Amino acid sequence: MKQSEILEELEQVAARAGVRVRYERAEFTAGSCILNGEAMIIVNSKLSPRERVRALAREVARLDLEALFIRPEVRRYLESALPLPVEETSAR
């Protein structure tokens, strides 16, 4: 898939999860917030297309996506955007 196709798919996934995606000039890469009761992901509009995809994927991957159908290649991209889980060690 092309970067533009992945970006469009990620935007659609976010919309189906009830989150609006906006592109704004910013000093940060991307972030999530609630503004006037509306969940949003804001992505820095100055980023390259590839960086936008990575930034949006990191934010979308944090959403509850279990009930949504996501194309397999996009789901794999989302899974790779998540940080690896930290293994818990038990104190003895």
Distance (Å, whole) CA 28 – CA 22: 13
Which comes out higher in pLDDT, residue 3 or 92? 3
Domain ranges (residues) in the chain: 3-76
pLDDT tens sequence across 12-54: 999 999 999 999 999 999 999 999 999 999 999 999 999 999 9
Cα 56 to Cα 16, 39, 89, distances in angstroms: 15, 14, 31
